[in-house]
Structure 1
Amino acid sequence: MDTEKNNILAALNRSIEQGLRWLDSHQKPQGFWMGILESNVCIESEWLLAMHFLEIKNDSKVEGMVRGILNKQRSDGSWETYYDAPGGDINATVEAYAALRATGIAVDAPPLEKARKWIFEHGGLPKIRVFTRYWLALIGEWPWSKTPNIPPEIIFFPRWFPFNIYNFASWVRTTLLPLSILCARCPVLPLSDPRRLDELFPEGRSRMNYSLACNRKALSWEQCFLMLDHFLHTYQKIGITPGRETAIRLCLEWIIKHQDADGSWGGIQPPWIYSLIALHTEGYPLDHSILHKGLDTLNDHWLYERDDGLHIQASESTVWDTSLALISMQDCRRDYRNSDTMQRAVEWLLDQQIREPGDWKVKVKKAKAGGWAFERANRFYPDVDDTAVILLVLTRLAGVYKNREKLQEAIDCALNWLLAMQSSNGGWAAFDKNNNLAILTKIPFCDFGEALDPPSIDVTAHVLEACGYLCMDIHHPVVHRAVKFIRKEQEPEGCWFGRWGVNYIYGTAAVLPALKAVGEDMHASYVRKAADWIQTRQNSDGGWGETCRSYMDCSIRGMGPSTPSQTAWALMGLLAVDSGCYRGNIDRGLNFLIQRQKSGSWHEPQYTGTGFPGYIVGGRIELTRKNLEADFRQGTELSRGFMIKYNLYCHYFPLIALGRARDHLSFETHP
């Protein structure tokens, strides 16, 4: 072994040991890891507005949330949807403004004056999305008649009907039903006179443009649905709505049945907060066990403090963080038999496996449950991504886990569920199967982002990688169809779109290790084209980075300030392909990670995760939406996107890359 390799391996060993010790010290007593899941101020703003509507008085969280919102205000007066975005977001800014006014901040307070100026400079209230309009309607600042009408009668739609609730993505389904009750009842608790938002209507409310932006072609689906929306409002105004009370009762029953074990709904904010408001609107008092549980869980594991402000997580990534932390330990060759940390984490994960059916059962009737959810308390929505990653963990425990029968049974249940969830095009979605009815994206309600959950490249790649570890190679029918889907979705430049991580670096880095795991020829031209693309995106500092803007501007795919997580992804991709020609890129990337490790971990303020980056068609983002491209050019960044920051991505992904790099270098030395 030459001196250079000796030095690299020594540096890798030191960095890995520091990183593993950091993980040990940050494991929760129950055995899991949980990094904070950050998003934007809409989360805190909507909770403050909900507290107003629910008439929750003297809540100790309010002052901290107000400080948190003010701390995040940009110098131009706006609020952004992700770290260091080039422009503010109209929806976040309006919701933050409304929330601050609702808590009593005066209209002439400097933060509000700056925010108001920015709002007017960027089109004012006519530019806000549907969700923001609903919030303004709840507090009496927007007419319910000018919001998209969601009739509760949707609960009656048969399974074969396109607009059946189970044709929507799970996150939409759980949000639609409580919102349908609110659309039917049109509840309002106005702000008191000193707190009204009259100043946002400079020409008066009667002259406000309340219309929704849409495709203006007369024969477009958007126009047809706007006409239908007008009819629904007229129908409701007349007051003859047979079956409505039955529909509302069935919606309430569905909502109550779907409450999570911790009191939330769907493991995310929108269905949780709208369900609380809908139930209260229907007469459930705040001290009712359902509402009490739903409100009380907010005081538990959803809150976090930062910079003297109080914030609320958009979701919680407990299962995801724990499984990836374990993979990082496995890739760093930690011995499970001598690691209490790993043993406690594995037992915790095994206890989280979901054995009861969820909403997925509606379309996948014959399959038995066996997946894992993203969060710790969400039993109705196991997801394919978490299940695939956990399978990667469990299959590598064969021979070292004491109860082999228990382990194999968990693996078999998970694999059978995963295989049953494969969509007809060969790919896998996050929560549902064949959830791709494009017409649903055209209804007015769906301007916020993804209404569907079609197969995505990154989820499919993670399933493929698990299949490879389970000895299913490229000739297996399931694997063959998945690889065909992946090849079809490759971009002309060689990269792949990232649905759940930012962005093309994430997608491409997920695919390459998966192809290797199932035995693909890693010298194939399409594989090398992908690796070459990663190579060309390396920054001068040795790292890789990609801004969230790449979801809006395809000319900057794979470009942005270097981050630890995205550098790790790029390295994971190159290491899966490397035959020597990428060695220099790999060494520079490793040096980037090693040099920037501080106190065992890495610092990363950038957002490298996504919730809703934009409408997805066949796995790719739809780049033909002229209004969004116009928003981008005007500086209104990702006005319909929802980006998130996983606070542990900057730790376990670098460890995974370092561990795989050490194995790679050791193999080169001792083939």
Structure 2
Amino acid sequence: MFRGDSAPPKGGIPPATKFNNWYLEVCEGRQVWHYVTDELTKIQKERFELTASPYHVGLPKFATPEESGSPFYKVPSQSHSYEEVLRKGVSFFGKLQTKDGHWAGDYGTQLLLYKKQPICEPFKLEILRYLFNVQNEDGGWGLHIESTSTMFGSVLNYISARLLGLTVEDKLLHKAKCWIQSHGNGSSCLASPQWGKVYLAILNIISWDAVNSLIPELILLPEIFPFHIKGMWSYARTVYMPMTYLYGIRFQVAEDDLIRQLRTELLPSSLADYASIQWSVYRNIVAEEDLYTPHTRLLKYAFKFFNAYEYIAPSFLRRRALARLYEVGVRKESEFTKYICIGPVNKVLNTLVTWIVEGPESVAFQKHLERLPDYLWMGTDGMKMNGTNGSQLWDTAFMVQALMENSKNREEYRDIFSLANDFLDISQIRVNHPEHWKYYRDETKGGWPFSTRDVGWLVADTTGEGLKASLLVKRHGYSLTPLDDSRLFDALNILLLMQNSTGGYATCEKTRGSKLFEYLNASEVFGDIMIDYDYVECTSSALQALVTFHEHYPTHRKQEVLKAVERATAFILKSQHQDGSFEGMWGICFTYGTWFALDGLASVGLYYENNSAVRKACKFLLSRQMMDGGWGESFLSCVRRTYVNHKASQIINTAWAVLALLGAHYPQKEPIKRGIDLLKQRQLLNGDWPQESICGVFNKNCMINYSNFKNIFPIWALARFTERYPQESPL
């Protein structure tokens, strides 16, 4: 079903534009790319990231011999000591810190997030270049860049290319069409999973009758109802509300020549007469390449009821339901996130619904258009849609902690710390959204987001990491403007509020719905999306932050903090698998989860020498070390929920494993040193590390890229190692 260990770059399609015309602009975390053909003005030079921009677009890869002296020119490193490797790594990555203090980066995800709207020529060309750079050899596209082809990815990316002006005669597009027509057991695009069918219906390629009812009226049920939408995971409900609105009004774009052509190209050739297609027979057909979460018996019965209900749905109830969906899922979600929205899927849907309801000239719609560029990232392989508007806070908080680990060199990084503190400052959410409880939102004041303050959604683990980083900068006096006590107290309050009764932490909110909700997961391609579950990573981040806070403020809410620490520790210990591992849900996978778990346990004094669970986890990690000294875990671990070796060791997996063993105070130096040696060997002359396989995941089945992890975590591992073994020399 998946390739698993493919090299990241699949295509070698050359640049479609001049790379030295691309410039990244940042402001309080916001990242927007510009294509400038004229000489830069003084204002542009002040606004643009003149050092980072050429690196992110991959300019050195296409450098002329005259340009090979660039600080980003890539050849193997000749560093001779661990200290030198660390210094070079920090020196290089420090140059990429933006003017506002964060590290910008590629957070590319699903291959299905492009939109139909006017777009300037350079952006269009680079989007097309990206699509064909990541196209599989068989002509299709996967759910992400390392999966085999799926109907979902292939159909939506085919449509994207057609909307951007390519014709079916294009060789690569024709290959994609052949893949679509030859899969789905004769149903071709009609074998798309639920979300794919929704997009096809919106685009008027298929009828809404091919989509199982999304029953808008469910939002009108009492909130105590066990399957009320309020109980859903934030990311799921914010997608399903605008999606359900569009289903409720049966919105479709106007039919034109392109739509008619797409019908001919994508629908089965056996269905030549569009008007006579029996759409309902395709509602539950899903291509085998796509199906990850089959319909449960409960969901099958529910869909039978929902579909029957559509024939008798009272119009007055439908109007009330649609009004509520728009108010909660579109209008307030847009306002609370400054029109960025929680992610790109609901961003595009909310923009469309706003256009329908408010009109193309409305202020709300124009604000949505202004924020669409926030999701577009220009990378070495072309322009893509990011999985959120970035990972700015997450990466910055990690980098601060990484540099703090090496006490010998900390003073050299004072400027980096100061600038990063400025970003931590501007990124903290300072308010609760007005009447948030009416719109299924919790308190936010004091939390940190995954990306930027404007997005308005806090996350438990990013709040934990943001609080830790802020406390460390304040403790060591590396900023003239550290966060004041009241701000840190607000962050603590959020962490205390967000802890579940299990002792664990979920993502954006406390867990609301029952696990029974998962029986109604209709996505067909994602796992565990219906409610917000407890996660080892979120719990560990919160636990470490609580411990760090208590060290700084030992009397502030002392009993509450100590109780929360005790419960979080118990949750992590309870989450350990029989083989000693901890499963990660946001990174790949058991290596990632085990690192988080061991660092969390270390924060409360549980180490290899005094705790059997820690010893068991270390034994697990050591059993997975590869012959070259590194660790390599495939994304298939996330899909199958059991450890799957990558065909080659990976820099990021190796750094996580090394950090975990060092954090656990594993007593034998040799296996740790072998991992550090691999990080040293892989470093490039300029201090960078090469991009390897994908390292992030969400909902079990969709992978995501964190381009900054290849720098942050080797630096962190080297800093921790040189602090523990300052006199150690390379093998």
Q: For this structure pair, what is the TM-score category when the shorter chain's length is used for normalisation?
A: 0.7 to 0.9
Distance 1:464 1:318 in 2: 22
1:630 is matched with: none
Distance 1:225 1:258 in 2: 28
Q: Is the 8 A contact 2:197 2:211 kept in 1?
A: yes
2:264 is matched with: 198
Query: Against the structure 1 CA distance between its residues 141 and 306, is the aligned structure 2 distance closer, same or farther, given a 3 Å change threshold?
Result: same
Q: How many positions carry a matched residue from both structures? A: 620
Query: Which residue, out of 694, 705, 709, partners 1:607?
Result: 694
1:584 is matched with: 670
2:173 is matched with: 112
Measure how far apart 1:347 and its partner are: 1.9
Query: Which residue, out of 600, 607, 621, partners 1:534?
Result: 621
Q: Partner amino acid for 1:310?
A: M
1:387 is matched with: 463
Q: Is the 8 A contact 1:141 1:196 kept in 2?
A: yes
For 1:304-361, what per-residue CA distance to the aligned partner results, in whole angstroms no more than 9, with x for missing partners? 3345732221211111111112112212334369622211210221222112225986
| Matched residue SS, 2:153 | helix
2:210 is matched with: 146
Query: Which residue, out of 218, 226, 241, partners 1:162?
Result: 226
For 1:229-275, what per-residue CA distance to the aligned partner results, in whole angstroms no more than 9, with x for missing partners? 21233235xxx321333332333333222226775443310110000
| Matched residue SS, 2:524 | helix
Q: Is the 8 A contact 1:267 1:377 kept in 2?
A: no
Please show how residues 252-401 of structure 1 align to structure 2 within 5 Å.
Answer: 252-254=326-328, 255-259=330-334, 263-282=338-357, 284-299=358-373, 301-307=374-380, 309-315=382-388, 316-333=390-407, 334-335=409-410, 339-358=414-433, 369-396=445-472, 397-400=474-477
Q: Is the 8 A contact 1:101 1:195 kept in 2?
A: no
Q: Which moved more, 1:400-409 or 1:182-191?
A: 400-409
| Matched residue SS, 2:369 | helix
Q: Is the 8 A contact 1:424 1:434 kept in 2?
A: no
Measure how far apart 1:368 and its partner are: 7.1
Distance 2:368 2:331 in 1: 11
Q: Which runs of 5 or more structure 1 residues have no equivalent in the other structure?
A: 1-7, 614-640
For 1:400-441, what per-residue CA distance to the aligned partner results, in whole angstroms no more than 9, with x for missing partners? 256798432222211121011001111000111123422322
Query: Against the structure 1 CA distance between its residues 136 and 375, is the aligned structure 2 distance closer, same or farther, given a 3 Å change threshold?
Result: same
Q: Which moved more, 1:545-554 or 1:442-451?
A: 442-451
Query: Which residue, out of 235, 248, 265, partners 2:312?
Result: 235
Query: Against the structure 1 CA distance between its residues 219 and 132, is the aligned structure 2 distance closer, same or farther, given a 3 Å change threshold?
Result: closer
Q: Partner amino acid for 1:241?
A: S
Query: Which residue, out of 647, 661, 669, partners 2:707?
Result: 647
Query: Which residue, out of 187, 190, 195, partners 2:251?
Result: 187
| Matched residue SS, 1:476 | helix
For 1:41-85, what per-residue CA distance to the aligned partner results, in whole angstroms no more than 9, with x for missing partners? 2123xx1xx33xxxx487763343223212221111111334444
Query: Against the structure 1 CA distance between its residues 554 and 183, is the aligned structure 2 distance closer, same or farther, given a 3 Å change threshold?
Result: closer
For 1:499-533, what per-residue CA distance to the aligned partner results, in whole angstroms no more than 9, with x for missing partners? 11111100001111110111124332221111111
Q: Is the 8 A contact 2:126 2:382 kept in 1?
A: yes
Measure how far apart 1:660 and its partner are: 0.6
Distance 1:424 1:298 in 2: 38
Q: Which moved more, 1:187-196 or 1:383-392?
A: 187-196
Query: Against the structure 1 CA distance between its residues 38 and 463, is the aligned structure 2 distance closer, same or farther, given a 3 Å change threshold?
Result: same
Q: Partner amino acid for 2:242?
A: P
| Matched residue SS, 1:432 | coil
* TM-score between both structures, scaled by the size of structure 2: 0.78
Query: Which residue, out of 319, 322, 328, partners 1:248?
Result: 322
1:627 is matched with: none
Distance 1:165 1:69 in 2: 35
Is residue 433 of structure 1 aligned with residue 491 of structure 2? no
Query: Against the structure 1 CA distance between its residues 402 and 69, is the aligned structure 2 distance closer, same or farther, given a 3 Å change threshold?
Result: closer
Distance 2:81 2:428 in 1: 38
Is residue 480 of structure 1 aligned with residue 566 of structure 2? yes
1:458 is matched with: 537
Query: Against the structure 1 CA distance between its residues 135 and 291, is the aligned structure 2 distance closer, same or farther, given a 3 Å change threshold?
Result: same
Q: Is the 8 A contact 1:504 1:558 kept in 2?
A: no
Query: Which residue, out of 647, 655, 664, partners 1:568?
Result: 655
Q: Which moved more, 1:91-100 or 1:644-653?
A: 91-100
Query: Against the structure 1 CA distance between its residues 199 and 275, is the aligned structure 2 distance closer, same or farther, given a 3 Å change threshold?
Result: same
Q: Which moved more, 1:403-412 or 1:589-598?
A: 403-412
Distance 1:119 1:403 in 2: 59
Q: Is the 8 A contact 2:654 2:675 kept in 1?
A: yes
Q: Partner amino acid for 1:192?
A: D
Distance 1:570 1:338 in 2: 25
Measure how far apart 1:555 and its partner are: 4.8
Q: Which runs of 5 or more structure 2 residues have no equivalent in the other structure?
A: 1-77, 552-557
Root-mean-square deviation (Å): 3.1
Q: Partner amino acid for 1:389?
A: E
Q: Partner amino acid for 2:708?
A: L
Q: Is the 8 A contact 2:638 2:697 kept in 1?
A: no
Q: Partner amino acid for 1:74?
A: N
Distance 1:585 1:487 in 2: 25
Distance 1:180 1:400 in 2: 51
Q: Partner amino acid for 2:726?
A: S
| Matched residue SS, 2:726 | helix
Query: Which residue, out of 643, 666, 670, partners 2:726?
Result: 666
Is residue 88 of structure 1 aligned with residue 175 of structure 2? no
For 1:527-553, what per-residue CA distance to the aligned partner results, in whole angstroms no more than 9, with x for missing partners? 111111111111222211211111223
1:470 is matched with: 549
Distance 2:140 2:727 in 1: 52
Q: Partner amino acid for 1:518?
A: V
* TM-score between both structures, scaled by the size of structure 1: 0.85
Q: Is the 8 A contact 2:418 2:480 kept in 1?
A: no
For 1:593-638, what per-residue CA distance to the aligned partner results, in whole angstroms no more than 9, with x for missing partners? 011111212112311111322xxxxxxxxxxxxxxxxxxxxxxxxx
Query: Against the structure 1 CA distance between its residues 225 and 336, is the aligned structure 2 distance closer, same or farther, given a 3 Å change threshold?
Result: farther
Distance 1:404 1:306 in 2: 34
Query: Against the structure 1 CA distance between its residues 11 and 668, is the aligned structure 2 distance closer, same or farther, given a 3 Å change threshold?
Result: closer
Q: Partner amino acid for 1:89?
A: T
Distance 2:439 2:509 in 1: 8
Is residue 549 of structure 1 aligned with residue 636 of structure 2? yes
For 1:574-596, what per-residue CA distance to the aligned partner results, in whole angstroms no more than 9, with x for missing partners? 11223433x22111100110111
2:104 is matched with: 34
| Matched residue SS, 2:704 | strand
Distance 1:380 1:212 in 2: 36
Q: Is the 8 A contact 1:126 1:210 kept in 2?
A: yes
Q: Partner amino acid for 1:196?
A: L
Identity %: 23
Q: Is the 8 A contact 2:134 2:145 kept in 1?
A: no
Query: Which residue, out of 102, 124, 134, partners 2:198?
Result: 134
Q: Is the 8 A contact 1:166 1:362 kept in 2?
A: no
Distance 1:404 1:269 in 2: 34
